[in-house]
């Protein structure tokens, strides 16, 4: 008797339920063994070993620590990626932090990996691949959190990475070349009655390191012989603030500089002052335009005082774009699991969040869904799982069910989706764009 699509989905969900404790244990193991970006060696090994148990042949060491395994369907067709992020943050107060490194899963990425593996287990144990065309790529991605910038710039200088985010690097090294669309999940704080959802868009950003160099002298005896780098920096900051009236409301520009070095002793004129800031905006055009204004403003400070300014720009992430067709398919599955009232979104609003799923979404259809199973606020020490069903099991089911929809029989749904999809950028355009953001300039 022929299997129907909804029967297959049901079998996949049963298989996930049968692996429930194993999925939760994997998530808890990762929670208790956190590693930060581009250093996730043990976590990557756990993922690769779990792939091997499913008779998958993982590629390891992609973008240093990434792992990818491709499961083939019964015929050729599009490839759908199911992703999870390997990396932790740093938070020494977090209950499961590594006491030496401070690595801590206070963004819930441990659950992403567990549910990605859970989706793989469900699809395999239910024999789903024999009813699907195309491929499923399971990808464990390094370094989503944009942290340890100096460390990563060092890796860049050593030629080990070019970009500072894991998905950016995976795109660069070609790990997405055989992937047509991608899905990922993310943790979220508990919301009244909500078990699953799809958010809105986020902001793109450029990270900036700015150094003003002047000339020191005794602050009272010979200030006329000095070039005050702090005054140059202050003029630069004021010139940034003077730009704010030019930013349009719907561009959501955010510029939030801090002075990280403002002088060493009060009785000598500061000759070395550093500033760090992000420039964020909701579109890449707005980002580029605001970034150019900021650079102009910073140079004005140097010019006014006769100092020198060195500006280093590091590309952050592009705005999150949830593909509407992927979102609709996913939502139908989510609603079938949790009910209409416990599913929220997709939202039509901009959130303050950024993530490198935004970068993926500029070159192929992509979707990030969220799961409010966590107590407390993300990135803080109180961010712990309250509901294991929401955190681990529901995402595994919703991801696997959406894969079934996309690749069912001849993968007609995925093929149709791709036929009507126009990417905002090609891979090459994307890489070129990032490279133009990665710049260092000295003025004058
Ligand atoms: Zn985070
Ligand atoms: Zn996160």
What whole-number distance in Å separates Cα of residue 137 and Cα of residue 120? 9
CA of 135 to the centre of ligand 2 (A): 26
What whole-number distance in Å separates Cα of residue 392 and Cα of residue 380? 20
What whole-number distance in Å separates Cα of residue 395 and Cα of residue 334? 9
CA of 383 to the centre of ligand 2 (A): 12
CA of 107 to the centre of ligand 1 (A): 5
pLDDT confidence of residue 191: 92
Nearest ligand, measured from the Cα of 109: 2
With residue 371 as reference, give the H or E element that holds it.
strand 366-375
With residue 299 as reference, give the H or E element that holds it.
helix 284-305
Give the Å distances, CA to CA, from 25 to 83, 100, 168, 378.
19, 23, 30, 22
CA of 147 to the centre of ligand 1 (A): 10
What whole-number distance in Å separates Cα of residue 49 and Cα of residue 54? 9
Q: Is 278 helix (H, G, I), strand (E, B) or coil?
A: strand
pLDDT confidence of residue 116: 98
What whole-number distance in Å separates Cα of residue 143 and Cα of residue 45? 16
CA of 412 to the centre of ligand 2 (A): 32
Nearest ligand, measured from the Cα of 147: 1
pLDDT confidence of residue 186: 96
CA of 176 to the centre of ligand 1 (A): 22
Q: Which residues of the chain fall below pLDDT 70? A: 1-2, 352
pLDDT confidence of residue 353: 74
Any residues with CB less than 8 A from the CB of 107 and at least 6 apart, and which? 88, 89, 144, 145, 187, 378, 379, 383
CA of 204 to the centre of ligand 1 (A): 15
Nearest ligand, measured from the Cα of 146: 1
CA of 379 to the centre of ligand 1 (A): 6
Nearest ligand, measured from the Cα of 90: 1
The tokens describing 397, both together, are 């089911």
Q: Which burial class, exposed, middle or buried, applies to 261 when counting CB atoms under 10 A from its CB (0-12, 13-18, 19+)?
A: middle
CA of 84 to the centre of ligand 1 (A): 13
pLDDT confidence of residue 2: 63
Nearest ligand, measured from the Cα of 188: 2
């Amino acid at each position: 008797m022929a299997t129907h699509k909804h029967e297959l989905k049901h079998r996949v969900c049963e298989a996930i339920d049968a692996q429930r404790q194993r999925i939760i244990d994997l998530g808890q193991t990762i929670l208790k063994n956190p590693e930060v970006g581009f250093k996730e060696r043990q976590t990557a090994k756990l993922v690769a070993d779990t792939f091997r148990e499913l008779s998958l042949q993982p590629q390891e060491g992609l973008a240093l620590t990434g792992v990818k395994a491709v499961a083939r369907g019964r015929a050729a067709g599009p490839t759908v990626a199911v992703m999870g992020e390997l990396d932790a943050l740093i938070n020494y107060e977090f209950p499961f932090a590594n006491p030496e490194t401070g690595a801590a899963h206070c963004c819930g990425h441990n659950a992403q990996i567990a549910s990605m593996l859970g989706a793989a287990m469900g699809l395999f144990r239910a024999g789903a691949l024999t009813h699907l065309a195309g491929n499923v790529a399971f990808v464990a991605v390094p370094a989503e959190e944009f942290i340890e910038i100096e460390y990563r710039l060092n890796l860049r200088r050593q030629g080990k990475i070019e970009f500072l985010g894991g998905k950016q690097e995976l795109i660069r090294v070609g790990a997405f070349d055989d992937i047509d669309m991608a899905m990922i999940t993310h943790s979220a704080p508990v919301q009244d009655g909500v078990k699953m959802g799809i958010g809105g868009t986020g902001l793109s950003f450029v990270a900036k390191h700015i150094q003003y160099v002047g000339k020191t002298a005794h602050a009272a005896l010979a200030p006329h012989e000095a070039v005050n780098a702090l005054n140059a920096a202050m003029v630069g900051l004021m010139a940034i603030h003077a730009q704010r009236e030019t930013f349009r409301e719907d561009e959501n520009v955010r510029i939030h500089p801090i002075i990280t070095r403002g002088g060493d002793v009060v009785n000598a004129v500061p000759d070395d002052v550093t500033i760090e800031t992000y420039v964020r905006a909701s579109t890449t055009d707005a980002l580029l335009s605001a970034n150019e204004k900021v650079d102009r403003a910073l140079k004005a400070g140097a010019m006014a005082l006769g100092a020198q300014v060195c500006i280093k720009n590091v590309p952050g992430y592009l705005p999150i774009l949830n593909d509407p067709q992927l979102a609709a398919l996913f939502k139908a599955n989510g609603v079938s699991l949790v009910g209409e009232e416990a599913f929220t979104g997709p939202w039509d609003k901009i959130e303050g969040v950024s993530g490198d799923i935004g970068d993926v979404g500029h070159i192929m259809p992509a979707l990030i869904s969220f799961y409010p199973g966590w107590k407390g606020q993300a990135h803080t020490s109180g961010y712990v799982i309250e509901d294991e069903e929401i955190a681990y099991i529901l995402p595994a089911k919703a991801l696997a069910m959406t894969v079934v929809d996309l690749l069912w029989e001849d993968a007609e749904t995925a093929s149709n989706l791709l036929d009507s999809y126009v990417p905002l950028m090609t891979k090459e355009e994307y890489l070129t764009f990032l490279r133009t953001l990665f710049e260092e300039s000295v003025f004058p």
